[in-house]
Structure 1
């Protein structure tokens, strides 16, 4: 993601969750929406920082990271360093520090970032290295300039690159799934390319740029459907590089439109255009965004999958909404046309207005910022619960909107 100011990262894999056993006080953040339907971003940002700092005070083990909150529970369930979501909590802390300049939050961000160093120096067993390291060390380096963070990020990029297959032209997403489904590349993996692009510009091997560009090109060719919805997974013959078929792992069906996957595409291809200048990536992001907006339900928040036959009784996905808000703002940064800038900025603001309402913003309900995310419905996992990456992208979008407002005020 953009190390110059606020764009960042995620993806989906099954993981064993560790229950949080800590004795904590109840979260005491007042209701954010007592009289108005739309909540101002600066107020929500202050409340979010307050909640994050309150939660930080009760999380004492640096190598245990928030993942989700079970129904009827207030506290986060925790996971270890190797869980693909481990980088999001330190990322949330870095964003909270950026919003507040609070030294206690900075100390917490440093504390929870440090254990993730081992990911950079361990053999790669999945593509999520970008999520783990870029959200944590990437934000930390952007905000502090700590040279140790840079060293870890460069090592992490080299580790991620070991999953690249030159015959296929992509990074293998799930090595553990190869015996079951074959060589696989998932749309989530677009987000991890930013670590490679960054490394190529900051002292890493220049070939890392070529790997990332090749992966984006192949993903555009095989994961994006003619109607600009997205396959979750592309399967290839790893010996010949030939595309075999597109399937789903977390969506409703192979040919359905999984909401979060659409978000990875919108954001990932806009970021790839930013890093390469290739118009095809920008055009793809635009068409993915337009298709999303065309299918968005009337209430403005996506269902977990746009083609679930149980709609309107299907679960919503706040994580997709917060991710896509960031993707829309990234896209708005990249397009040249003034009308398109306004279109995608307003789309992001609309998503955030819904997320800032009492329906989705947690308030006193639990330690999370957002309610109603859906992780892996086909696996009956994380359905209609808070999930940490929803909060991560929510915080990123708050920062992006704050900076946008500051730029408007200065001009």
Structure 2
């Protein structure tokens, strides 16, 4: 039903700034399709070529149809993008995705797009209460890595300075989302592992002291937020006067002792990244342990529900963004630990195959995202939509697949 050429799909969803799309038919909830069946469906769904061709076209339509600083966050019920300004923690994901396409294609058109969407984020270097790693590493630091641009490097380093200032040596962690004047309220989430690459990179680029901050944060997160069985808690609450852990809890998961799917994916990715920069075997072991827990609790089609402790069946919503993040992390792990590479690649293949199928790809729908059926924050009613960060990690994972394994067409 969702078959057809990329051009036909784009005609249905071209981003036009202010005109409304046709009233959509909501995509059906995905079924419990076994992976083998999903692979067959994916092959039939992509006659025009690799899924990356479709993904690139979707990103181009978004980048050229909207204008910064209106950053796409997630899709509205009619399939259009809900946008927010540069202060939002998600603002970096569109320019980050554009940089990844430039990395793969070396086409200057994509560099121009990335630079245009990245530019309004430059003022975010001193924004204290946000996820600067997401916003500034994957834009300005990656810009410097790909182009050698010195001003981009300095912007990323300025952001690292702000992030490092949030570190409390008594607690040994980087604070998130709280009032620094409240001595008994010091919150840290598993997501913050994704900020550490900005500090590790800065440690290699003139800020060596930031490597120690990143390591201290990773080590305490490993102790406090990763459970013995490899599952994770979303949040730890600390007394910043003593550094004592007071409780673990959730804000976006099902309950305080459940395992929120995207948080588990952040853990896999964050600890794999920490190992890449440090070669500390504790980080590799933790990345594998959290990955094994994630893949061992997936439903038959390999795309998780939003929390692993809710009933693993409809009408509970899926979270395609968690699958995309975990897929990219597993492909990273396959490069870091050759002894387990085959298993990590196979686990990534299962998830990417399902994500590339008609169940989860937005082809021939009015949705302007690449993926559908993502859950950003269910307690706040943000579920069953396309999500820009899900699209970013899907493109990153497909890039890694093509670089490390073979053409993404093989995912069909």
- Shared fold by TM > 0.5? yes
Once the two structures are superposed, residues 78-121 of structure 1 have per-residue CA deviations (whole angstroms, 9 ceiling, x without a partner) of 1100000000010111122233333322211100111111111x
* 1:52/1:108 CA distance change after superposition, 3 Å: same
**Is 2:236 the counterpart of 1:239?**
no
Give the deviation of 1:406 after TM superposition: 5.8
Match of 1:330 among 332, 336, 354: 332
Give the deviation of 1:371 after TM superposition: 0.1
2:351 alignment partner in structure 1: 351
Once the two structures are superposed, residues 328-360 of structure 1 have per-residue CA deviations (whole angstroms, 9 ceiling, x without a partner) of 1111111141xx110011101110000000110
Q: Are the counterparts in 2 of residues 49 and 100 from structure 1 also a CA contact under 8 Å?
A: no
Q: Are the counterparts in 2 of residues 354 and 360 from structure 1 also a CA contact under 8 Å?
A: yes
SS of residue in 1 equivalent to 2:369: coil
RMSD value over aligned CA atoms?
2.3
Distance (Å, rounded) in 2 between the aligned partners of 1:329 and 1:361: 20
Q: Are the counterparts in 2 of residues 329 and 400 from structure 1 also a CA contact under 8 Å?
A: yes
Once the two structures are superposed, residues 197-234 of structure 1 have per-residue CA deviations (whole angstroms, 9 ceiling, x without a partner) of 0001012x211000000000000000011111100001
Match of 2:274 among 268, 272, 282: 272
Once the two structures are superposed, residues 215-262 of structure 1 have per-residue CA deviations (whole angstroms, 9 ceiling, x without a partner) of 000000000111111000011110000111110111001110110010
Give the deviation of 1:313 after TM superposition: 2.5
SS of residue in 1 equivalent to 2:405: helix
Q: Is 302-311 or 208-217 further displaced after alignment?
A: 302-311
Give the deviation of 1:42 after TM superposition: 6.2
1:124 alignment partner in structure 2: 128
1:104 alignment partner in structure 2: 109
**Is 2:165 the counterpart of 1:159?**
no
- Unpaired stretches in structure 2, ≥5 consecutive residues: 1-15, 23-36, 408-412
Distance (Å, rounded) in 2 between the aligned partners of 1:43 and 1:355: 13
SS of residue in 1 equivalent to 2:187: strand
SS of residue in 2 equivalent to 1:256: coil
**Is 2:55 the counterpart of 1:48?**
yes
Distance (Å, rounded) in 2 between the aligned partners of 1:232 and 1:34: 31
Q: TM-score, normalised by structure 1?
A: 0.86
SS of residue in 1 equivalent to 2:384: strand
Give the deviation of 1:135 after TM superposition: 1.8
Distance (Å, rounded) in 2 between the aligned partners of 1:47 and 1:108: 17
Distance (Å, rounded) in 2 between the aligned partners of 1:227 and 1:310: 20
Distance (Å, rounded) in 2 between the aligned partners of 1:269 and 1:221: 12
2:192 alignment partner in structure 1: 189
2:296 alignment partner in structure 1: 294
Q: Are the counterparts in 2 of residues 52 and 96 from structure 1 also a CA contact under 8 Å?
A: no
1:23 alignment partner in structure 2: 19
Match of 1:138 among 124, 133, 141: 141
Tell me which of the two structures has the higher relative contact order, counting C-alpha pairs closer than 8 angstroms and 6 or more residues apart.
2
Once the two structures are superposed, residues 117-144 of structure 1 have per-residue CA deviations (whole angstroms, 9 ceiling, x without a partner) of 1111x24123x01111112112222221
- Unpaired stretches in structure 1, ≥5 consecutive residues: 1-19, 27-32
Distance (Å, rounded) in 2 between the aligned partners of 1:42 and 1:197: 37
Q: Are the counterparts in 2 of residues 69 and 75 from structure 1 also a CA contact under 8 Å?
A: yes
Q: Are the counterparts in 1 of residues 176 and 187 from structure 2 also a CA contact under 8 Å?
A: yes
Distance (Å, rounded) in 1 between the aligned partners of 2:164 and 2:180: 18
Distance (Å, rounded) in 1 between the aligned partners of 2:311 and 2:363: 31
1:29 alignment partner in structure 2: none
Q: Are the counterparts in 1 of residues 38 and 354 from structure 2 also a CA contact under 8 Å?
A: no
Once the two structures are superposed, residues 36-66 of structure 1 have per-residue CA deviations (whole angstroms, 9 ceiling, x without a partner) of 423479611111112211222211x321111
Distance (Å, rounded) in 2 between the aligned partners of 1:213 and 1:197: 9
Once the two structures are superposed, residues 140-178 of structure 1 have per-residue CA deviations (whole angstroms, 9 ceiling, x without a partner) of 222211111101011110010111000000000112598
1:14 alignment partner in structure 2: none
